[in-house]
Amino acid sequence: MQTTFSQRFNGLDHLRAIAILLVLMYHYRAFIHPDWIDTYGRFGWTGVDLFFVLSGFLISNQLFQEIKNRGNFSLKSFFIKRFFRIIPPYFFTLLLYFCFPFFRERESLSPLWKFLTFTQNYGLDVINKGTFSHAWSLCIEEQFYLILPFSFLLLIKSKTLKYLKFIIFIIILFSILARYFSWHEYVFPNINSNEFWKVWYMKIYYPTHTRLDGLAVGVLIGYLFQYSSRFRKLTDENGNLFLPSGLAFLGFSLWVCNDQSSEFASIFGFTFVAVSYGFIVISAISKSSFLNKSKNYFTTQLANLSFAIYLSHKGIIHIIQSLIEYYKISISENLLLITCLIGCIIGGLFYRYFIERPSLKLRNKIHTNLSS
């Protein structure tokens, strides 16, 4: 879940590193783990929401820059960049899952066509088809990458781009109402049944139309950042105030989501988390923020590996723990955790040097030929 952008925001590298660590902690609970992972990892699901806000901002900000400079943007260039950044490592991961069963962290996969069409997040039975289930968020992002540029072109052609901020509020409201409907129509009738969690994930957590909050908040930040001088000034002058504000609201949001599947949390929790991370992202892009001023080698590298780690981490953790168990190696749960994290990083490096870099070189070559 990584993006390419013309302006470098050091602060966003820190946030991407935090996001992938949150996701790793959340998913690691499904494997052999130390007890403290249950305490600190249960809110790791918000790492995906942070990725959504980051993606919404980075992609839209890039497009808004082109629109400001040229009055339009290249649809062909946009899709070439997205294709070569995402598809090769994703398809390689699919190859691992479908051709090498030992890579599967669980017993059953969704049908291949759902992965190939990026529609796996709809009707996803995480209880019985939980292998590579984390691809649901990539499905949402791919659908976002498909819809966003065409929506922008429509707004440009109809000269209604200036109304985008109002459209975004409508989209967020739509997601809230969709979750309200899904809760009362599907989830609540199963509240005392064994199907509750399957239905909650299927109808509330995974569908695109119920998870638009983070992407919408990110796009709103990108729009205001490029088109509102007042917002840009407020951001650049108060970066270090947005961070504690965002963290305070995030604390409140996590309190609301303490029982994640409750009615109130299911309907409003995702919006609260998205807005919280929105404030933190604003801090990270501010010229005055220590997040943006500071550059750290570890977070930069982890951010660059985040997409590859996101794709492969469950399979790698499964393989490492299976080998430890097979060879009856005595190891503490904390040391096992460190071993798995190192394995995930090594896996990410493999993706970088043998899949991502060759595909990006091919992308640049194609882009150069098309531009000449």
Over the stretch 54-99, which tens digit does the pLDDT of each residue have? 999 999 999 999 999 999 999 999 999 999 999 999 999 999 999 9
Q: Both ends of the chain: CA-CA distance in Å?
A: 30
Could you tell me the residue ranges of all domains in the chain? 10-371
**CA geometry: angle at 91 spanning 83 and 323, to 5°?**
140
pLDDT tens digits, one per residue of 102-133: 999 988 999 999 999 999 999 999 999 999 99
Find the mean pLDDT for residues 251-262.
96
Of 5 and 186, the structure prediction assigns the larger pLDDT to 186
As given in the structure block, the two tokens for residue 372 are 């000449």
Q: What are phi and psi of 338, to 5 degrees?
A: -60, -40
Give the integer Cα–Cα distance in Å for 140 and 142: 5
Angle between helices 136-157 and 75-99 (to 10 degrees): 170
**347 and 312 in contact (C-beta within 8 Å)?**
yes
Give the integer Cα–Cα distance in Å for 271 and 296: 30
Which amino acid, 337? L
pLDDT tens digits, one per residue of 30-44: 999 999 999 999 999
**pLDDT at residue 322 tops 60:** yes
Find the mean pLDDT for residues 293-319.
96
Give the integer Cα–Cα distance in Å for 372 and 367: 9
Give the integer Cα–Cα distance in Å for 22 and 42: 9
pLDDT at 3: 41
Angle between helices 46-70 and 213-227 (to 10 degrees): 30
Q: Is 369 exposed, middle or buried (0-12, 13-18, 19+ CB in 10 A)?
A: exposed
pLDDT at 7: 63
3-state secondary structure of 160: coil
pLDDT at 189: 97
**pLDDT at residue 6 tops 50:** no
